[in-house]
Amino acid sequence: MSELRELYQSVIMDHNKQPRNFGSPANANHHAKGNNPLCGDQLSVHVFLEDGVVKDVGFEGQGCAISKASASLMTEAVKGRTQEEAEKIFEAFHELVTSDPREEPVIGDLGKLAVFGGVREFPMRVKCATLCWHTLRSALVDGGVVSTE
């Protein structure tokens, strides 16, 4: 378990310092804003969706290291995926971060996102880690503003 914790910390630090896909793709056609008042995280997610495929995705905003790293990793995970695939990744991710920390984490096809299994030990941080995903879903569906409260 301490191995996972170390990996978790190094991945979060890396993506917090150098967020991937930061900013809005020039041709983005779906947008949403997300708010996590509990922590103060504020994110915007911008998607270029074409033929049901996330052709490009970026995010902007400010927040804690976990919210930023999660958004950064999310953009890498969903770029090039269909809307349904992105939804499935979100479901698996949500399942992972809200599962019982005493049980073996279910990683499935989460790839790098699996490091967020470390969030399970910090329930206050689950909303930080999932904020970008709720915002992405909102952007893909109808846009607008989502709040974790």
Based on the shown chain and the rule CB under 5 A, indicate whether residue 41 belongs to the binding site for Zn ion.
yes
CA–CA dist 64, 39 (Å, integer): 8
- 143 neighbors 133 (Cβ within 8 angstroms): no
CA–CA dist 129, 61 (Å, integer): 14
Among the listed ranges 24-32, 38-46, 76-84, 86-94, the one in contact with Zn ion (CB under 5 A) is 38-46
Based on CB atoms, which residue is closest to Zn ion, 30 or 134?
134
Q: For residues 52-111, which are near Zn ion according to CB under 5 A? A: 64, 67
The strand pairing partners of 72, in sequence order, are: none
Output the smallest distance, CB 78 to Zn ion, in A.
20
Site string for Zn ion, 110-149 (x = CB under 5 A): ------------------x---------------------
CA–CA dist 12, 17 (Å, integer): 8
DSSP state of 38: T
Output the smallest distance, CB 8 to Zn ion, in A.
15
Q: Which two tokens stand for residue 56?
A: 């490009």
Based on CB atoms, which residue is closest to Zn ion, 45 or 64?
64
Q: Which two tokens stand for residue 91?
A: 């479901």
Using CB under 5 A, list all residues that contact Zn ion.
39, 41, 64, 67, 128
